[in-house]
Each structure stands twice: as structure tokens, then as C-alpha cells.
Amino acid sequence: MRVGVLTGGGDCPGLNAVIRAVVRKGIEVHGWDFVGFRNGWNGPLTGDSRPLGLNDVEDILTRGGTILRSSRTNPYKVEGGVDKIKQVLADQGVDALIAIGGEDTLGVAKRLTDDGVGVVGVPKTIDNDLGATDYTFGFDTAVSIATEAIDRLHTTAESHHRALVVEVMGRHAGWIALHSGLAGGASVILVPEKHFNVDQVVSWVERRFEKEYAPIIVVAEGALPEGGEEKLLTGEKDAFGHVRLGGIGTWLADEIAHRTGKESRAVVLGHVQRGGTPTAYDRVLATRFGLNAVDAVADGDFGVMVALKGTDIVRVKLSEATAELKTVPVERYQEAEVFFG
């Protein structure tokens, strides 16, 4: 059997750990051949590929990013895209695909399965917003990076007695903001799932100043003030219809400074959250996902995604995994509010 592997969407710590696990088990246990498709779905669209052997994955466990590179290519936006993929797979003798990605990448995987291509999905996103799995790899690393940044910002905020607004990633789901904010002792946490009242935020900030402490506000990039609109870096959309968000942190810092008369600054963590070495947790989770994806291919169980349920790795239908985003429940956010201010 010859198996193709690709990584789609945004880069994420742990992608290389999945590739390593897939290739090692596939070769050493089953004797399969592997081909890596470059740049997400653009690889099987254009035939851009490379062989993957044991030597190619020997030292990639700790490396961030992906040796196969990535993109946000959507073959269903390309004329004849599905037929091109089928032809490339046939030409290269590929019997099955393992697609590693988030909602967009796995949404394509689901549609390709419906169109007769054998695909197994592996869930990846730092936002942890993919349905049908308790956690995705990359999330723990992103939270750890954001938490370390918040820890460092506490000291500079206290030194200057200023408010600092930390903008983290999270378009529709505030998991990174919630977890890093709680772990970092933030004064306020703002998530996309609950529109915030600026007056309430200012009240929490002022309460913190009254205690002679400098407030730290953690805000997800997709968070919205009541009656407000998303802050966009650009109006352009990618192949999956997403716009680039950014700017809510700067806007909120200006509002706080204006309303309190206190110095306020914004810090945008941006792609720092995606980069670098994955945490031990993400390396282990990614490895387990890769090993179980190989089992699914061996069983001919296509149209599924490997998922974490409790401490077990299970298989779920791609249709279930991509049906809806996993967002922060209101009750989870309300638990955090006791620490605000």
C-alpha cells in the first residue's frame, strides 16, 4: 500500500510528530510506502510531492511547523479540483490519504470521502475548536506560550503601573484566551462567545488599580464589544471565506486609557503562539493520533477522524467532527468571572 500524507491550514506545533508516527508505524509494522504532499491540498492538486522514509522523519519530533509545509488551498474552489486530485493519486499510486488539519482541511477531507477518495483525518488546531475531540494537539503549546507572555507582562505592567491588553488568537472560540488568562492570573478575559460591555471592563480595570495592582486584560482576536463589529486587518478572504482579524486589543487599550486616564498598552501575540517546539503533552497526543490514523487506514476505515475522548483515542465520522465548532460554554466563562478585577 502507498499512503499520502498532507498538512493543511495554519501551521501548528506537533504536526511533525504526527508525520513521524504515521511513517514509522506504517513502514515498520505494515511495510507501506509513503509520499508527502506539499502545501496542504495544493500538493495532491498539482502533484507536488516528496517521498517519506524513516530517515526523513528521524529527527523531526521536536520541530515546530511542518516539513511538508502548509496552505489554505481549497480544491473545491478550483475548477475540476476533485478530478485533478483523483488523477494525481492514481498517477502516483496512492491508495489512501492521511489529512492533518483543522475544520477547513477536514471539511475538504469529508467531501473527498463522499466523492470516493479514501481519507483519514487527524485533528489539528491551536484554537481547540474542532468538534468531536476533547483536545487538539497544538492547543497546549499555544496556551503555554501565551501564559508565559502574560507572566512576563505582569512584571512590566507593575513596574509602570499601566494596563496591558494581550490579544491572543481565537476567531470564533476563546479557548486560548480562557486557559491562558486563568493560568496567567489575568484581571479580565474576553472571548468571542460572550460580547463584552466596555463599561464593565473599565470597572474591573479600575478595581484592579484601586488595589494598587496593574491590570492584565486577555482578549481573543474575535471578541466583540456589545453592539460592535469585528476588527479586521484586511477585508480580503481566503479560499475558505475567512477574513483576517486583528486590532481588538489596540482598540480596547485606547478605550481603557481614554475612560480611566491611566496609561494602557496593547500586546498582540499573533503567530508567536503557533511557532516553536511543541510541549511534551502535544508531542505525545500528536504521536498517539498518528499511530491510530495508521490503524484506521489498515482497517480500511475511511471517512473518519481520530479523536481524544477522555484518555482514549477513538474514531469519529468526519461529518461529526466538522459539523460545528466547539466553543467555550457560557458556564465555563462564568466560572472564570469570579477572578476578574
Q: What is the pLDDT of residue 70?
A: 92
Rounded-to-integer distance, Cα 286 and Cα 123, Å = 9
Architecture of domain 2-137+278-322: 3-Layer(aba) Sandwich (3.40)
Confidence at residue 238, expressed as pLDDT on a 0 to 100 scale: 47
Q: Is 56 a catalytic residue?
A: no
Binding-site positions for substrate: 125-127, 162, 169-171, 221, 265, 271-274
In this predicted structure, the answer to whether residue 228 has a pLDDT above a threshold of 80 is no
pLDDT value, residue 245: 63
Question: What are the start-end ranges of the H helices in 167-245?
Answer: 175-183, 198-210
Q: How confident is the model at residue 232 (pLDDT cuts 50, 70, 90)?
A: very low
pLDDT of the residue at 25? 98
Q: What are the binding residues?
A: 10, 103, 125-127, 162, 169-171, 221, 265, 271-274
Task: Give per-residue pLDDT as tens, 248-298.
Answer: 999 999 999 999 998 899 999 988 988 899 999 999 999 999 999 999 999
Average pLDDT of every residue of the chain: 92
Cell numbers describing residue 124 = 489539528
Query: What one-letter code names the amino acid at 261?
Result: G
Domain covering 139-275 in this structure, CATH number: 3.40.50.460
- Residue 192's pLDDT is 95
Cell digits of residue 302 = 475511511
Rounded to whole angstroms, the Cα distance separating 157 from 38 reads 43
Residue 236 reports pLDDT greater than 80:
no
Domain locations along the chain? 2-137+278-322, 139-275
Helix (H, G, I), strand (E, B) or coil at 106: helix
3-state DSSP assignment of residue 279? coil
Mean of the pLDDT values across residues 7-29? 96
* Catalytic entry in 33, 95, 127, 282: 127
